[in-house]
Amino acid sequence: MRSSTKMKWLTGCFEFILGIPFLGASIVIGFSWAPLGVMLLLHVITIIISARDGGNKYGSVIGIFTNLIAWIPFVGMTMHLITGIVLMVDAARGKTKRIE
């Protein structure tokens, strides 16, 4: 399994957890919004690794956007769920471009 696929699974699971009503909000607010910054950093790292592996980057781009607007209560929850699903589907497909 490529590093980019592992990172997509990891960030997808974290995003999905942050999208769970009350649980995600409790985590984000309980840690003074720091999880959003951590997730933003993880998405940037995932984009860099995906670029190196020749994989899709759109899930992490959506993740960056999500973490920038996640302070809006219901919009953030919905976007976290969508981002988690997109990242996990992308990881499950495992599509990468052939580098030759």
pTM: 0.88
CB 47 within 8 A of CB 55: no
d(CA 95, CA 33): 33
Note the pLDDT of residue 95: 60
Q: Hey, CA dihedral for 96, 85, 23, 74, is it positive or negative? A: positive
* pLDDT (tens digit per residue) in 57-92: 999 999 999 999 998 889 999 999 999 999 999 999
